[in-house]
Amino acid sequence: MARLADLKQENDYVRTTLLSWIRDLINKYHIDGIRIDTVPEVPKWFWSQFAQASGVYTVGEVFDGGMSYVGGYVGSLDACLNYPFFFWIRDTLFNQKDMYNIRNYYTEWGKNLDSSKLQYMANFCDNHDNARTLSWAGNWEDKKKHHRTCHVMAMTSVGIPIVYYGAEQYFAGGNDPQNREILWRNLDRNSDLYKDLGKINAARKRFQIWNQPQV
C-alpha cells in the first residue's frame, strides 16, 4: 500500500463525516456513478453505508482473480471491477487456452454470483494497474487480433464495459507508468478499433442492451 494515514470508520464522527461528504459530492456535481479504489482495505459494512449514502452506482476495485473473493464484495457495493474476466479472457486469448475456458468462466461465475448481479460487473481488458495487453511478448499482428477480440468481448459480454483510454489507439505501454501514455498527441479517430468500439457502443444504445435479458 501507499502508507497513507488510515481512517477509523468505527468512529461515529469519522463515519458520518465520510457519508456526508460523498452525499454532498454527488449532489453538487451530479455524479451518476463512482469507482472506489482498494475496497478490501475498508470493512464491508462501511461500504454498504457508503453506497447507500451516495445513491448512485458504485463499483469497487478488488484486485483478485478469485470469483468467490471478488463476489463477496458485491452486495456491499453494486459491483466490482471484473478481475476474474480480465484474467480469464487474457489467459484464453494470449496464452492460447481452449475457448471452452470462456464457457467455464460463466459457469464458475454462476456458482459464485447471482446473474442479476453479474450484469453490473465492470468488464475490462486494460487498466492503469497492469501492463497493457499489447506490451506482452509475441507477434504484433497476433497481439492486435487478441486485443481487438478482448475488447469486443468486454463490450458484448454480460456486464458493463470499461475501455481504458488508449486501448483504441493500440497503445502498448508496460507496467506503470509506461501504461499511462499521452493521448492528446496520438489520437487517431481513423483507428479501426476506435471505429469498431464506436459502432458497438452505438448498437448497445440502440437496442438498450441493459434492458435485455442477461443470460
Determine the Cα–Cα distance for residues 215 and 209; give it in Å rounded to an integer.
12
Cell (9 digits) for 162: 470499461
Q: Which of 61, 78, 126, 168 is catalytic?
A: 61
Closest-CA residue to 132 (of 79, 97, 187, 172): 172
4-39 in b/e form (b: 16+ CB < 10 A) is eeeeebeeeeebeebbeebeeebeeeeeeebebeeb
CA 100, 120, 135 angle in degrees (round to 5)?
A: 60
Among the options 10, 24, 37, 176, which is catalytic? 37
- Active-site annotation holds for 10: no
181 given a catalytic annotation? no
Phi, psi (degrees; rounded to nearest 5) at 33: -175, 150
| Catalytic residue positions, numbered | 37, 61
